[in-house]
Amino acid sequence: MGSKTLRLALTRVEAAASLGISVDSFERFVQPEIRLIRRGRLRLVPVAELERWLDSNAARVLEEVS
């Protein structure tokens, strides 16, 4: 069995796909609310930031339903 590498950061395309949304939607709705790692033209999205964003936004939806 090979060992799996745990990804700590994703490209914007990968981050959008992991959320099930388009890159345009990611850049419009998610990216402004998270921290990115910038190296030249490369932009990486820390998985922890996606998790934080999901937790934060899930709470808002639950509050609206209540």
- What are the tens digits of pLDDT across the range 6-64? 899 999 999 999 999 999 999 999 999 999 999 999 999 999 999 999 999 886 665 66
DSSP-derived 3-state class of residue 38: strand
Residue 22: left if φ>0, alpha if ψ -120 to 50, beta else—which one?
A: beta
Q: What is the pLDDT of residue 2?
A: 61
Q: What is the pTM of this model?
A: 0.80
What is the rounded distance in angstroms from the CA atom of residue 48 to the CA atom of residue 41?
21
CATH code, domain carrying 38: 1.10.10
- What are the tens digits of pLDDT across the range 6-21? 899 999 999 999 999 9
2 domain-assigned: no
Helix (H) / strand (E) element for 16: namely helix 12-19
Number of domain units in the chain: 1
Give the residue numbers spanning the domain of 47: 9-65
What is the rounded distance in angstroms from the CA atom of residue 60 to the CA atom of residue 43?
27
